[in-house]
Amino acid sequence: MKKTNFSIIISSFLILFSCEMNQSSVGISNFSDDGKVYKWHLGSESAVDVAKNLDDAMKDKDYTLLRNFLSDTVRITSSNGAVYDADSFINRRIEIDSILESRNASLNWEYSNIFTVDLDPTRGGEHVHVNYSGKYEDENGADTWNSINRYYVIEGKVVRWDTFTQDIIDKDTE
Amino acid sequence: MKHLKQILSIFTVAIFIFSCNTPERSVGMSAWEGVEDMKWHIGTQSAVDIAKAMDAAWQARNYDEMRNYISDTATITSSNGYTFESVDAFIERRKSNDSVWDSNGSTFEWSFTNLFSVDLDPSTGGEHVHADYFGTYTEDGKADNFRVMNRYYIIDEKIVMWNSYFQDIIEETSE
């Protein structure tokens, strides 16, 4: 019976280990703080949820809630290269809301895809990618674009936020 | 007792086999028409290798080789929103840029920092490879740095769709 118990323990270990090994990884990265070469794994649904919740808060202009999803040391870089910390970013959002209101303009966006990848699933931190399409509209017309926001999320907080943009040439106006 | 051992052994082997054949994990969401119910899986190294090989050919200005990695019907849209009329038009633009840079002594250098691939449906062809680039354009000794994220949709080892996204870097010393 002892032998049987031992076999079960060894087998269980093998099962768990084999499933862990089954997680595929691809690609290349030079994001490395220890000299090791890492490949990319799929991330977790909880990191995706942070991006979704953050978007909801931003749409609702609930900046207190939005602040909860940002780390105190967050670094936010917009596509024009401007860099913000949490407070300066939220102040900028409030300022933009005010400008939009005064111009009777609107700024809308929708995400079309969210996924997350992770260099080292044994440690915290995932890179969540969100595809957006955005539209600014005022009395002079509309401007549209596509964006990718990349959030580096650790323990439910965004630590780094980078925005990359692709213009859309509006055939009606350009 | 003998039967118990046999049952346990069969059960363990069955779980072992089953555990390694469970569907691949997936996360996230997509609102793209026709695939709204799908989530993202990790892609394959072969798709990543196409992006690497294409980049190596581009770095070497070997445009015939580069052309091999791009589908005849590829749609290539740069970060300013311009979509090239054809792959040949894109290649011609590359050659034209090289000629201008060589003649005025400017340089355009880039290196990728990250490459990975994700896939909505591993049972059908097509993967989305993401490549992060760090670029520097230098003219008259003045350097302009920026980041680009290229997303390639790759089917059967050819780029079918190529979208570039841009992020400027504000040079603290000069601006």
pLDDT band per the 50, 70, 90 thresholds, residue A10: low
Chain segment A15-45, per-residue pLDDT in tens? 544 454 456 898 988 777 777 778 999 999 9
Alpha-carbon distances, residue A68 vs A32, A84, A111, A157 (angstroms): 28, 16, 21, 8
Only one residue has tokens 């936010």, namely A76
Question: Could you tell me the pTM of the whole model?
Answer: 0.87
B6 shares contact with chain A (CB less than 8 Å): no
CB B129 within 8 A of CB B115: yes
- The answer to whether the CB atoms of B147 and A164 lie below 8 A apart is yes
Quick one: tokens of B58? 């581009």
For residue A55, give the amino acid letter: D
Question: What tokens were used for B170?
Answer: 């504000």
CB B101 within 8 A of CB B120: no
Q: Is residue A10 part of a domain?
A: no
Assigned domain for A15 exists: no
Tokens of B171: 């040079």
d(CA A8, CA B7): 12
Considering only alpha carbons, which residue of chain B is nearest residue A77?
B167
How many domains, chain A?
1
Give the pLDDT of residue B19: 53
pLDDT of residue A21: 46
Confidence of residue A74 (pLDDT cuts 50, 70, 90): very high
Task: Return d(Cα A4, Cα B105) in angstroms, integer.
Answer: 76
Q: What's the total number of domains in chain B?
A: 1
One digit per residue, the tens of pLDDT, for chain B of length 175 reads 566 667 666 666 555 555 555 567 899 999 988 888 899 999 999 999 999 999 999 999 999 999 999 999 999 999 999 999 999 999 999 999 999 999 999 999 999 899 999 999 999 889 999 999 999 999 999 999 999 999 999 999 999 999 999 999 998 765 4
Q: Which two tokens stand for residue A173?
A: 């106006």
- Classify the complex by whether its ipTM is higher than 0.90, answering yes or no: no
Residue B20 lies in a domain: no
pLDDT of residue A23: 61
Q: Is A123 helix (H, G, I), strand (E, B) or coil?
A: coil
- The boundaries of the domain holding residue B142 are 38-168
Q: Which amino acid is at B17?
A: I
Residue A82's Cα: distance from chain center in Å?
18
Collapse the DSSP code of A174 into the 3-class scheme (helix H, G, I; strand E, B; otherwise coil) and give the result: coil
Within-domain flag for A145: yes
Residue A14 lies in a domain: no
pLDDT digits (tens, 9 = 90+) for A112-170: 999 999 999 998 899 999 999 999 999 999 999 999 999 999 999 999 999 999 999 97
Cα distances from B152 to residues A43, B5, B47, B116, B174, in angstroms, run: 20, 53, 9, 11, 34
Looking at the domain assignment, is residue A7 inside a domain?
no
Q: Which residues of A touch B51 (CB under 8 A)?
A: none
Q: What is the CATH number of the domain that holds B59?
A: 3.10.450.50
- In degrees and rounded to multiples of 5, residue B94 shows phi and psi of -60, -45
Q: Residue A115's closest CA among B126, B77, B160, B31?
A: B31
CA distances from B111 to A6, A37, A76, B98 (A): 52, 16, 23, 17
Q: Specify the pLDDT at position B168.
A: 98
B127 touches chain A (CB under 8 A): no
Partners of residue B144 on adjacent β-strands: B137
Residue of B nearest to A29 (CA): B114
Q: Do A117 and B118 touch (CB under 8 A)?
A: yes
- Which residue in chain A is spatially nearest to B41 when comparing CA positions? A42
